[in-house]
């Protein structure tokens, strides 16, 4: 974004926008500044069963990897910004917050000033267990926010292979250590055992998210990708005894016929993300999507999906701030937000809800190499307020992608107030 | 930053809150000031003096109003009644628990009480800042002491003994 624009602090934004809950402002500010965990707080996390530790052998060396399950504020809002504690390099604004223990309470702290109380989330009971053939279950499914079980269908992306990745995407960073290609029969059995074990934990899960990189190949667009999703969905069906289950797909845009295959295999919600609404900026930020098979194709896929999955069960997403990346992005916050809300309004008229995420300029992405500056707090306040207002006006739901089933969308956090008014 | 104030409740109110057979209701308001009142059988008292209840419906009006309460510092009221006595307790939503030991405790209690297809969205914790006995005899005694001019003259207390 343009450097000369005035950027307001958390306190200034809170005074200017009293209608936006302070919890949500803190969440956004923590996401763009980052959060570190003190030794004392980390010890508290251990006592709260919120740290999962495993012995790792890598490059001939043995070390302990510590995975923090995450934290929530008093209202249940997910604490964003902890990604740095997992070794992920992200370009941030200013100084990070810390989580520390003060007066025996776990607090998010700005400098030396306590900002808000928070609570560590226990890691799932299936972590540390292995499948019958010895695969660690946490290699197959991960808890994201407290309620969501995340399963990677595969860890590969043709956009990256074609040197046309979405410019904010960090997938390449993790690819080496993870899975490439589709799941084998043995791996699908591992997933079946893992999900079946996870379901033994009472009151833990209300959502499953499947995701993968893009694979546009096949007899029709993205057929190869759909084939892999169907395999995993059929596996999940076994764990649920064939009953319908809330599984959402964060995936590429598919033709309607492929969407029908996924719905029949058990998918209930579908998210073909547009990422950026403005056509020219979109082509620059998402060159892979532009090549396979263009903006109009991605839009029409989302609209068609409403007929397959139902009104309010289809969500597109904006990577908030990507449309302000320079030199081709918008120069001002207001221009950027106006463009994004124009897109959200268009989708809402067709029964598609739009969420936004906070763009992390993370190591491995093109934007990281370009040293793009993250968008400021006030930009996100304007964007999420607009998205919530559009969703409310159209009485659209977003419950499958909200504060506890995805938790990285501050706009869907706001929609907690509007659930009683949703129409399906 | 908000810290939870502790307020001591009368012994009788404590007993009622801990009695699963006592009748308990929760009153909340929306952004227009519209009042919404619902029964909350699970409402109880925690060791730290705060109230807690299990919210079954994530999409309910009560839940939206509680979210509004914790976000915008709005008060809620609870009425607990038993055997003709009642207490009104006011406070603010302090925490919504959706995971961890307290949630598990409520979740399993709901499962035991309502069967294998029962569900629970979360547990709300209310920080108490005001309590008042609403039992009619108590309130009536107070009114007559403070406002003796409000009584009707044909009541027993005004009757003059007739000369025989």
ipTM rounded to 2 decimals: 0.94
Q: Judge whether B143 lies within some domain.
A: no
pLDDT single digits (tens) B7-28: 789 999 999 999 999 999 999 9
* Structure-token pair, residue A94: 């200013």
Number of A/B CB contacts below 8 angstroms equals 66
> What is the pLDDT at residue A4?
46
CB-CB under 8 Å, A75 with B98: no
Q: DSSP label at B119?
A: -
Q: Over chain B, what is the mean pLDDT?
A: 94
Contacts of B122 in chain A (CB under 8 A): 76
d(CA B92, CA B83): 27
> What is the pLDDT at residue A307?
98
Q: Judge whether B157 lies within some domain.
A: no
Contacts of B95 in chain A (CB under 8 A): 74-75
Sign of the alpha-carbon dihedral angle for A204, A209, A210, A211: negative
Q: Distance of CA A116 to CAs A41, A77, A107, B47, Å? A: 14, 11, 6, 22
Chosen for mutation from B36, B68, B71 (greatest number of chain A CBs closer than 10 Å) is B71
Percent share of chain B, pLDDT over 70: 96
**Residue from the list B59, B96, B104 with its beta carbon closest to the beta carbon of A419:** B59
Q: Is the CB of A396 inside 8 Å of chain B's CB atoms?
A: no
Q: Say if residues A403 and A412 touch (Cβ distance below 8 Å).
A: yes
Q: Which residue of B has its CA nearest to A145?
A: B99
**Residue from the list B60, B70, B97 with its beta carbon closest to the beta carbon of A420:** B60
Contacts of B72 in chain A (CB under 8 A): 21
Q: Judge whether B76 lies within some domain.
A: yes
Q: Judge whether B154 lies within some domain.
A: no
Q: Say if residues A238 and A225 touch (Cβ distance below 8 Å).
A: no
| Burial environment of residue A350 by CB neighbours within 10 A (0 to 12, 13 to 18, 19 or more) | middle
Q: Judge whether B47 lies within some domain.
A: yes
Rg (CA), chain A: 21
Contacts of A72 in chain B (CB under 8 A): 98-99
Q: Which residue of B has its CA nearest to A403?
A: B98
**Residue from the list B58, B71, B100 with its beta carbon closest to the beta carbon of A75:** B71
Q: Is the CB of A124 inside 8 Å of chain B's CB atoms?
A: no
Neighbours of B137 (CB within 10 A): 10
Q: Judge whether B4 lies within some domain.
A: no
- Element containing residue B111 per DSSP (H, E): helix B101-114
Chosen for mutation from B67, B94, B111, B126 (greatest number of chain A CBs closer than 10 Å) is B67
CA distance B10 to chain A (A): 27
**Residue from the list B61, B95, B104 with its beta carbon closest to the beta carbon of A420:** B61
CATH code assigned at B67: 2.30.110.10
> What is the pLDDT at residue A266?
94
d(CA B37, CA B61): 10
Q: Is the CB of B112 inside 8 Å of chain A's CB atoms?
A: no
**Residue from the list A76, A122, A147 with its beta carbon closest to the beta carbon of B96:** A76
Chosen for mutation from A143, A201, A203 (greatest number of chain B CBs closer than 10 Å) is A203
Is A137-421 a domain of CATH 3.40.50.300? no
> How many domains does chain B contain in total?
1
Low-confidence ranges of chain B (pLDDT < 70): 1-5, 163-164
Q: Is the CB of B60 inside 8 Å of chain A's CB atoms?
A: yes
Residue B139 Ramachandran class (φ > 0 left, ψ -120 to 50 alpha, else beta): alpha
Q: Is the CB of A23 inside 8 Å of chain B's CB atoms?
A: yes
> What is the pLDDT at residue A182?
85
Q: Is the CB of A11 inside 8 Å of chain B's CB atoms?
A: no
Contacts of A117 in chain B (CB under 8 A): 1
Q: Find residues 50-109 of chain A whose CB sits inside 8 Å of chain B.
A: 72, 74-76, 107
Chosen for mutation from B99, B105, B111, B117 (greatest number of chain A CBs closer than 10 Å) is B99
CB-CB under 8 Å, B99 with A122: yes
SS3 B96: strand
For CATH 3.20.20.70, list the domain ranges present in chain A.
137-421
d(CA A340, CA A329): 12
CB-CB under 8 Å, A202 with B104: yes
Contacts of B98 in chain A (CB under 8 A): 72, 76, 146-147, 404
Q: Judge whether B2 lies within some domain.
A: no
Q: Is the CB of B70 inside 8 Å of chain A's CB atoms?
A: yes
> What is the pLDDT at residue A267?
96
d(CA A99, CA A44): 10
> What is the pLDDT at residue A3?
44
What tens-digit pLDDT sequence spans chain A (424 residues)?
Answer: 544 457 899 999 999 999 999 999 999 999 999 999 999 999 999 999 999 988 877 778 888 888 899 999 999 999 999 976 566 788 888 899 999 999 999 999 999 999 999 999 999 999 999 999 999 999 999 998 889 999 999 988 999 999 999 999 987 665 544 455 789 999 999 999 999 999 999 999 999 999 999 999 999 999 999 999 999 999 999 999 888 788 999 999 999 999 999 999 999 999 999 999 999 999 999 999 999 999 999 999 999 999 999 999 999 999 999 999 999 999 999 999 999 999 999 999 999 999 999 998 999 999 999 999 989 999 999 999 999 999 999 999 999 999 999 999 999 999 999 999 999 8
pTM of the model: 0.94
CB-CB under 8 Å, A122 with B100: yes
Percent helix, strand, coil in chain A, to 5, is 40, 20, 40
> What is the pLDDT at residue A62?
84
Q: DSSP label at A318?
A: E
Q: Find residues 143-202 of chain A whose CB sits inside 8 Å of chain B.
A: 146-147, 202
Q: Is the CB of A48 inside 8 Å of chain B's CB atoms?
A: yes
* Structure-token pair, residue A394: 């159209």
Q: Judge whether B30 lies within some domain.
A: yes
State the residue range of the domain holding B26: 11-135
3-state secondary structure A363-396: CCCHHHHCCCCCCCHHHHHHHHHHHHHHHHHCCC
């Amino acid at each position: 974004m343009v450097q000369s624009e005035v950027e307001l602090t958390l306190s200034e934004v809170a005074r200017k926008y009293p209608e936006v809950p302070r919890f949500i402002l803190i969440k956004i500010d923590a996401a763009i500044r980052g959060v570190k965990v003190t030794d004392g707080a980390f010890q508290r996390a251990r006592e709260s069963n919120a740290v999962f530790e495993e012995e790792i052998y890598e490059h001939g060396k043995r070390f302990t990897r510590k995975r923090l399950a995450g934290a929530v504020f008093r209202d249940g809002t997910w604490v964003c910004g902890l990604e740095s504690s997992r070794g992920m390099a992200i370009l941030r604004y200013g100084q990070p917050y810390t989580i520390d223990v003060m007066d025996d309470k776990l607090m998010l702290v700005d400098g030396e000033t306590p900002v808000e109380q928070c609570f560590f989330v226990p890691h799932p009971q299936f972590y540390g267990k292995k499948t019958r053939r010895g695969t660690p279950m946490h290699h197959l499914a991960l808890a994201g926010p407290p309620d969501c079980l995340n399963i990677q269908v595969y860890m590969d992306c043709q956009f990256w292979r074609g040197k046309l990745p979405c410019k904010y995407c960090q997938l390449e960073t993790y690819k080496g250590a993870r899975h490439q290609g589709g799941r084998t029969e043995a791996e699908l059995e591992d997933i079946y055992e893992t999900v079946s074990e996870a379901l033994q934990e009472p009151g833990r899960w209300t959502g499953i998210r499947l995701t993968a990189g893009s694979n546009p190949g096949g007899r029709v667009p993205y057929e190869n990708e759909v084939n892999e999703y169907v395999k995993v969905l059929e596996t999940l069906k076994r764990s649920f005894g064939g009953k319908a289950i809330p599984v959402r797909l964060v995936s590429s845009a598919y033709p309607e016929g492929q969407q029908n295959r996924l719905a029949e295999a058990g998918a209930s919600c579908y998210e073909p993300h547009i990422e950026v609404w403005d056509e020219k900026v979109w082509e620059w930020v998402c060159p892979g999507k532009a090549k396979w098979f263009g903006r109009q194709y991605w839009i029409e896929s989302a609209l068609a999906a409403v007929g397959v999955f139902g009104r309010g069960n289809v969500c597109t997403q904006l990577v908030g701030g990507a449309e302000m990346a320079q030199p081709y992005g918008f120069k001002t916050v207001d221009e950027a937000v106006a463009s994004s809300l124009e897109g959200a309004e268009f989708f809402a008229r067709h029964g598609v809800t739009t969420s936004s995420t906070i763009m992390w300029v993370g190591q491995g992405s093109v934007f990281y190499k370009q040293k793009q500056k993250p968008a400021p707090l006030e930009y996100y306040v304007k964007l999420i307020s607009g998205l919530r207002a559009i969703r409310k006006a159209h009485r659209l739901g977003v419950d499958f992608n909200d504060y506890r089933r995805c938790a990285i969308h501050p706009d869907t956090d706001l929609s907690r107030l509007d659930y009683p008014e949703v129409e399906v | 930053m908000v810290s939870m104030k502790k307020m001591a409740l009368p012994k009788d109110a404590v007993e009622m809150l801990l009695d699963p057979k006592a009748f308990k209701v929760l009153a909340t308001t929306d952004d227009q000031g519209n009042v919404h009142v619902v029964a909350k059988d699970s409402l109880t008292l925690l060791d730290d003096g705060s109230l807690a209840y299990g919210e079954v419906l994530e999409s309910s009006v009560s839940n939206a109003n509680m979210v509004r309460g914790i976000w915008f510092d709005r008060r809620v009221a609870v009425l607990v009644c038993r055997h003709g006595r009642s207490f009104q307790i006011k406070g603010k939503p302090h925490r919504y628990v959706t995971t961890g030991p307290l949630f598990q405790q409520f979740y399993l209690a709901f499962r035991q009480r309502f069967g294998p297809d029962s569900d629970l969205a979360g547990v709300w914790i209310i920080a108490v800042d005001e309590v008042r006995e609403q039992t009619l005899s108590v309130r009536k005694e107070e009114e007559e002491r403070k406002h003796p001019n409000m009584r009707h003259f044909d009541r027993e207390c005004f009757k003059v003994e007739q000369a025989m």
